[in-house]
Amino acid sequence: MRLLHTLAKTRASFDDPNLMSHAGLVPAMAFAERARLHELAAEYVRPAGGQGANAGLKVACLVAGMAAGADSIDDMGLLRHGAMEKVFGGVRAPSTLGSFLRAFTWGNVSQLGRAHREFLVNLARDAPLLPGAETLAFIDIDSTQKRVFGYRKQGARFGHTKIQGKSLLVKGLNALAGTISTPLSAPVIGAARLRGGNAPTGRGAASLVKEVIGTARKCGCAGLLVVRIDSGFYSASVISAIRSAGARFSVTVPMNSSVRAAITAIPEDAWTPVRYPRAIWDDQLDCWVSDAEVAETEYTAFVSKKNRQVTARLIVRRVRDLNKKAAQGQDELFPVWRYHAVFTGSPFETVQAEGQHRDHAIVEQVFADWYDGPLAHLPSGHFNANAAWLVIAAMAHNLVRAAGTLASLPYAKARAATIRRDLISVAARIARHGRGHLTLHLPEAWHREHEWLNFWHAACGPPPIAA
C-alpha cells in the first residue's frame, strides 16, 4: 500500500458535523434499549444528591462508551463528536459521568448489580447468547488481581496473582466474577464484584455463586448446571451454596493428607490414559500412549465440619514427571507422577468430567477481554466508583457479546476487541431526508458489511414474536 497523493497537496481538518466514528453504537444501543437498560438503571440505581440524578441515561452513556472501547472516564469523550449528539440524546460529559460514579455507595453498587443481572436476562431473551442452555450450562467463578498505581486508590493492597505461571504479590484491587457459558457459546458475565486487593480468594464467593445460579436459571439454563471453581474456593460454605441452589459442583482440591491417602488407595489398573493433542496412537497396543492418566474414587470432604460433610467423586489426573537427568545417563528406577485432583458432583463419565473441569480456563478469556477493554484501568481513586465501573464493564461486555451473536456464528465466539473493531468502530455519515428520517452512509465495500447488516436488522428491526 502506498499514498497516491503527495503530502504537500494533502490536508486534514476536523470539521465534519455529520460524521460519526462509531456507527455500530446505533444498533448496539437500540438493542440495549430493547433490553430495558435505561429503565432498569433508572428503577434500581439511586445515588444520593444531584450528581446521582438521571441514573438511567448516565449508566447507558458509560455502557456505550465501554462498548466503543473507552477504558477511562476521560475516554467517554468519544461519545461527543461529530454527529453523535444528532443521533443520541442525553449524552453526558466525562466530568459529569465521573461525578456520577463518585456518588455511589456500596448499596448503590448492589443496586447496579441487580440491574446488570436483569439486563443480562433480557439480552438472553432476545439474542442467542446461550445456545444449548436448556441441556447443559457451566458457571465459572474466579478472581483477578487488577494492578493499580498511586497512593490514593482506596482498597489497593498487595495480593497474590499468577503471571506466566509464577505466583507474585501485586498491588491492586481484586475483581471476583462469575461467568455463564455452554459448550456452544462464549461466556457472558452473570455477576461481578470488586474487593480489596488483599481479600482472600473465597471471600463473598458463596453469595456470588447464588446470584449467578439464579441469573443463569432466568437466562434459560433449565438443564444441568455445573459450577466450576479452583482450589481457592474449596470450602464447605461455597459447596453448600452450590448444592442448595440445585447445581452441581466441580472444584480443584488442594493436596492435603486425606486427599493423598485417597489417591494412594486407587489401584494401578484403575488408571485410564487421556487422549491429549500430543498423544500418540499405538497400532500394536491399540490405544493412545500419553503421559497423562485419570482415575476416580469416592471421597468425603469437610469431615471436621459437623453436618457439612460432602461425599462425591474424586477424579484424579496424574502426569508423568520428566526425568531432567535422563540426558546425563541417570535413568529413573520407577515413574514419578504429579497428581491433580477434582472433587465433583458431575454425572459425566470420568474422562469427560475431568476434561470439562479443565475447560474452567475459559473464564480467563473474559478477563483478557476486560483487560483489553474497559478494565484496562480502574479509573477512580474511590473504591465504590471503581466497583460501579466494574459492574458497568460487565454490562458492556454482555452487550458486545450479544452484538456478536446477532451478527454471525463466527462473531458469537470472537474476542470482544474483534467485535468492537468490525461491528462498532465503523465510521458513518448521517443524512437527513423527509421528516424524521435518517440514513447512515457507511464505507463502501466494508469487509464486514454482511455481518454488520445482520446486527442492524436484528437490533433495529421489529422485535421477534414471543413464543
Cell numbers 457439612 correspond to 308
CA distance linking residue 417 with residue 424, whole number of Å? 10
Identity of residue 264? T
CA distance linking residue 407 with residue 402, whole number of Å? 9
Helix, coil or strand: residue 200: coil
pLDDT tens profile 381-403: 999 999 999 999 999 999 999 99
The percent of residues above 90 in pLDDT, for the chain, comes to 76
Closest to 231 in 3D by CA, of 258, 254, 248: 254
Question: For residue 166, what pLDDT is reported?
Answer: 73
Question: For residue 252, what pLDDT is reported?
Answer: 95
- Cα-trace Rg, the chain: 25
Question: For residue 419, what pLDDT is reported?
Answer: 96
Torsion angle of C-alpha atoms 153, 154, 160, 163, degrees rounded to 10: -30
Closest to 87 in 3D by CA, of 460, 466, 467, 462: 460
pLDDT tens profile 201-257: 999 999 999 999 999 999 999 999 999 999 999 999 999 999 999 999 999 999 999
Question: For residue 336, what pLDDT is reported?
Answer: 74
Beta bridge partners of 229: 251
Question: For residue 296, what pLDDT is reported?
Answer: 93
What's the longest Cα–Cα distance across the chain?
A: 87
pLDDT tens profile 45-63: 999 988 999 999 999 999 9
The answer, yes or no, to whether residue 286 has pLDDT greater than 80, is no
CA distance linking residue 427 with residue 417, whole number of Å? 16
pLDDT averaged over the chain? 91
pTM: 0.92
pLDDT tens profile 268-277: 899 988 877 6
Cell numbers 453523535 correspond to 84
pLDDT tens profile 408-458: 999 999 999 999 999 999 999 999 887 778 899 999 999 999 999 999 999
DSSP letter, residue 183: T
Q: Among 90-94, 109-113, 324-328, whose mean pLDDT is lowest?
A: 324-328
Q: Among 91-100, 277-286, 358-367, 440-449, whose mean pLDDT is lowest?
A: 277-286
pLDDT tens profile 172-210: 999 999 999 999 999 999 999 999 999 999 999 999 999
Q: Could you tell me the three cell numbers for 300? A: 468425603
Compare 462 and 77 and report the one with higher pLDDT: 77
Instruction: List Cβ neighbours of 310 (8 Å cut-off, separation of 6 or more).
Output: 236, 239, 243, 300, 301, 302, 343
The answer, yes or no, to whether residue 467 has pLDDT greater than 60, is no
Question: For residue 434, what pLDDT is reported?
Answer: 74
Q: Could you tell me the three cell numbers for 325? A: 537427568
The answer, yes or no, to whether residue 320 has pLDDT greater than 90, is no
